[in-house]
Amino acid sequence: MTAHTGAPARRAAWLTLAALAALALTTACASGPQPETSGVPGFEPTIKTFQVSPTDRFFAIDSNDVAIISRDASLLGGIYIMLDDAQLPYRRYLQTLPPRTAVALMVQPGDSALMDSVVRAMRAPVSVHERVQIPRDNQGNPLPIANFLMSSVRNRVARTWLLGTDSAAARALPDWVVAGVTQMITGFPGTRARNAQLTAQLDQLIPIDSVMRMRISETAIPAGVAGETQRTDSRGRPVAATPRRLPAENLAALEAASLIDFMWAREGRGIIKQLVDRTRRGEPLSAVIAQAVSLPRDVAGLEAAWKASLAPPPPKK
């Protein structure tokens, strides 16, 4: 009798252990991947997991201001840090925080529809869907071009912050303001690199009144990470790269950012917000600078002062 009753007891014990193991596995999956899978060494965010179907699982970093979602968890950290860093200049120049934003990074066909419920769960007034394919080497490490691809997503988000969700208001904002302020928000290229390029094409600069009427597409706005690559000589000393000649549209985008940067440096707090708000209402640049304290009061004078800041000083005799 004892042997007869022991077998069911052992069977029950094994079933109990199996159930506990299954529960532990389920809990581990629900808690999301290990922090290092964010793709940024040393960055240990809380990663949420969303199982949207038996075969489709998405990951998300969700903060108060930004939510990044993708089925590839290694994409989350880099984009999150870029956008987190971009919020400070946005607040500095536009004197408010950007709207809460959900960024959906699509890796496979059909991801947009599959991620829809996850994006809606983030309750963000602004959402940006971007297809991202990160090339990797044989060991699975991202190739250098990955930084450019990630920064292109940052450009798209910064531009969306600036344009807002009101299509009529977005159409009213001039292209040159969008191109220039987007670069101010992303911080790329840096002031020195941008002005070095413009100085190399000083004789080809487009008059500012023409820049203000030009069509400047989103693809003409430079994308990248400041200081990501720099050539060095045999002793490891930095070597300045020779600027290449840019097409007119790309040159106009740089000029717009350089001019706005110059206005900020001279006038300071409030000038970029005034520029965005007033040009969105249809007012010209001349109306913005007419009330400035430290800037020339007309566009011709502003352009002359800006160009003078680009030109290298004459050699001392």
Q: At what angle do helices 271-280 and 248-267 cross, to 10 degrees?
A: 130
Mean pLDDT value across the chain: 83
Q: pLDDT for 234-265, tens place per residue?
A: 555 455 566 788 999 999 999 999 999 999 99
**Can you tell me whether residue 228 is helix, strand or coil?**
coil
Residue 118, exposed/middle/buried by CB under 10 A (0-12, 13-18, 19+)? buried
pLDDT at 304 over 90: yes
Any residues with CB less than 8 A from the CB of 263 and at least 6 apart, and which?
271, 272, 275, 289, 292, 295, 302
For residue 52, the tally of other CB atoms under 10 A from its CB is 15
In the chain, the percentage of residues whose pLDDT exceeds 90 is: 63
pLDDT value, residue 13: 46
pLDDT at 205 over 60: yes
Here the tokens at position 301 are: 């004078």
Summarize the confidence of residues 69-79 as an average pLDDT: 91
